[in-house]
Amino acid sequence: MTAATTKHETQTAPAGAEASNRNRSVLPFLEKYALLVLFALLVLFFSVYGPTSGTFTSVANVRNILGNESVIAVAALASIVPLTCGQFDLSVGSVIGLSAIATASASATYGWPVPVAVVIGVLCGALVGLLNGWLVAYRGVNPLIATLGVSTLLAGLISLYSKDIIISTGIPESLTDLGSGTTLGLPRTLFALALAALVVYYVLGHTPYGRYLASVGVSPTSARLVGLRVERLVLSSFVVSGALSGVAGVLLLARAGTANPQVGPGFTLAALSAAFLGATAIKPGRFNVPGTLLGVLFVAVSVNGLVLAGAADWVQPTFNGSALLIAVVLATAIARRRAGRT
């Protein structure tokens, strides 16, 4: 090796190291905040784009987005609890429909007080979660198969009970006021979402229970070796998911003012899309509450803007499905890259 070659390598090495350091600093930033930047650009675009500029930023439209997406957001929060534990819950949407029907029937058909009807709706969700958890944790059934089967079973039972008739009369005004009313200019369902989000955020991020769930999600075998009761943790994650889905069902009833037996299952895909989008933001590679809420807003604003621009009805399911596929690919890639780096 000549002296000139050695001198050239000495000069280029710091430049290469500097470029590598810049990449290392930029990539974590993009992982954390790329979705937030895209969300801001979307809001800016629909705010100035001709066909949507007059309506998109109106107070009524913003309230409509926040009020309607509160249900999906709570459903997404329900999804991330078992996902943190390494499990899938495909029954979230059906549980939402069941809870709405149960709450409406208890209050409108049987005349029970609203608080009792709400408890019944949430309890129905928790019981379905208990069934899911028992099948997965103690019977060894694949979570996708177990929750999909339970979801299909629920759809049939709801149809049998309701005879596919929408419950639209007798819903207490105090319940519909929760869905349609505002406080401080904001939809009241948004405050229910905020409470649910704070609880899930605290439990998953600041309690031993949340750390145990994450440990099981990373490696059930290792978690069992250090003394964690994996089966109980998996069971409890489904129960929490079912209860939160029950809360989402109550909010759906309050928001719509009716209980439609056909509506619930459609929430599953939207909830999972938001959950996996959330795993690509704020805390990349991990299911987290701030990222999940950002994912909900990202999908909601995208679909709302496209609809205002005159897009056809097929846009929303197509966008949700595409968002889910892209989010799963990105979340998996980020998790693998971080695992390799670690």
Answer yes or no: is pLDDT of 1 > 80: no
Answer yes or no: is pLDDT of 16 > 70: no
Query: What pLDDT does 88 receive?
Result: 92
- Going from N- to C-terminal start, the domains of the chain cover 33-336
Backbone angles phi and psi of 126, in degrees to 5: -65, -40
- Looking at CATH, the fold of the domain delimited by 33-336 is given as ABC transporter involved in vitamin B12 uptake, BtuC (1.10.3470)
Query: What pLDDT does 169 receive?
Result: 86
Tokens of 127: 């019981």
CA–centroid distance for 53 within its chain? 28
Query: What pLDDT does 26 receive?
Result: 62
For residue 224, what pLDDT band results from cuts at 50, 70 and 90?
very high
For 298, the 3-state DSSP assignment is: helix
Rounded mean pLDDT, 193-222 = 95
Rounded mean pLDDT, 18-35 = 64
CA–centroid distance for 208 within its chain? 22
- The CB density around residue 116, as the number of other CB atoms within 10 Å, is 13
CA 145/CA 334 separation, integer angstroms? 27
Question: Mean pLDDT highest for which of 249-253, 274-278, 325-329?
Answer: 249-253
pLDDT in tens, 37-46: 888 988 998 9
CA 287/CA 278 separation, integer angstroms? 6
Query: What pLDDT does 130 receive?
Result: 97
Tokens of 112: 């029970």
Q: Give the type of residue at 105.
A: S
Least confident of 28-37, 78-87, 248-257: 28-37
For residue 132, what pLDDT band results from cuts at 50, 70 and 90?
very high
Query: What pLDDT does 8 receive?
Result: 52
Query: What pLDDT does 15 receive?
Result: 54
Rounded mean pLDDT, 48-69 = 88
Of the CA atoms within 13 Å of residue 232, those in its CB half-sphere come to: 7
- The CB density around residue 308, as the number of other CB atoms within 10 Å, is 17
| Residue among 172, 156, 151 nearest 104 (CA) | 172
Answer yes or no: is pLDDT of 241 > 60: yes
Asked whether 171 and 108 are in contact (CB, 8 A), the reply is: yes
pLDDT in tens, 257-277: 899 999 888 899 889 988 988
Tokens of 269: 């895909």
pLDDT in tens, 59-112: 889 888 888 889 999 999 999 999 999 999 999 999 999 999 999 999 998 889
Query: What pLDDT does 23 receive?
Result: 52
